[in-house]
């Protein structure tokens, strides 16, 4: 109680607290004829539709419902020629807003070679840990290369 009285009598101005609301905004949409993701190849087909030609790494997120149907796709970050900054808070922000049951992450290797780096594997493990805490499992991390080449970290045994 003394703290409250001290605040009222002190010369420090009151702190204004913002009242906020969060909402997702749909930018566009894609048709996905398979309706349900069953294997990594299904996801690659969707990611390739989503990707535009680029000369930089892009990290993206595919949100899934309880039936493994894609509900949203989001570009988490666009990086440089060979790197992209990825933090769990940025990845899961959209997953939470989209009420995702699970997610699949992916990124583009502009070099065309989808072989994962040590950093790719470390990022995947960090995202898996964050997903476990949030109750939104990361089902796979898919690296897209050129001409349909891809690497699924789950299929490779790195997850």
Task: Give the residue extent of every domain in the chain.
Answer: 2-156
| pLDDT number for residue 33 | 83
pLDDT of residue 83: 62
The class that CATH gives domain 2-156 is alpha beta
Q: How far is it, in rounded angstroms, from Cα 95 to Cα 83?
A: 22
Q: Which long-range contacts (CB under 8 A, 24 or more apart) does 20-26 make?
A: 22/97, 23/97, 24/72, 24/94, 24/97, 24/98
At residue 73 the predicted structure's pLDDT band, cuts being 50, 70 and 90, is very high
Residue pLDDT, tens place only, 13-70: 998 999 888 888 888 888 888 889 989 988 998 888 877 666 778 899 999 999 999 9
Residues above pLDDT 90, as percent of the chain: 53
Q: What is the pTM of this model?
A: 0.83
Higher pLDDT, residue 130 or 110: 130
Report which of residues 83 and 112 the model is more confident about: 112
Q: State residue 7's pLDDT score.
A: 54
pLDDT value at position 66? 97
Q: What is the mean pLDDT of residues 117-127?
A: 95
Q: Report pLDDT for 28.
A: 86
Q: Which own/partner pairs from 71-78 qualify as long-range (CB within 8 Å, at least 24 positions apart)?
A: 71/98, 71/99, 71/100, 72/24, 72/98, 72/100, 73/30, 73/46, 73/47, 76/105, 78/54
- What is the predicted pLDDT for the residue at 50? 76
Q: Which residue has the higher pLDDT, 126 or 110?
A: 126
Q: How many CA atoms lie within 13 A of 127 on its CB side?
A: 31
Residue 3's pLDDT is 58
Sequence-distant (6+) residues with CB within 8 A of 52 are none
């Amino acid at each position: 109680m003394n703290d409250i009285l001290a605040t009222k009598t002190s010369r420090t101005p009151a702190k204004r607290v913002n009242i906020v609301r969060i909402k997702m905004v749909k930018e566009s949409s894609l048709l996905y004829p398979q309706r349900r993701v069953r294997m990594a190849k299904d996801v690659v087909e969707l990611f390739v539709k989503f990707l535009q030609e680029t000369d930089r790494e892009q990290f993206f997120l595919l949100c899934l419902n309880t039936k493994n149907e894609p509900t949203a796709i989001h570009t988490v970050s666009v990086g440089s020629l060979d790197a992209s900054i990825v933090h769990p808070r940025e990845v899961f922000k959209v997953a939470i807003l989209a009420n995702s049951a699970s997610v699949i992450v992916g990124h583009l290797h502009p070099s065309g070679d989808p072989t994962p780096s040590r950093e790719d594997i470390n990022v995947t493990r960090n995202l898996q840990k964050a997903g476990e805490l949030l109750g939104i499992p990361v089902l796979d991390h898919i690296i897209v290369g050129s001409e349909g080449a891809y690497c699924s970290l789950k299929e490779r045994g790195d997850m």
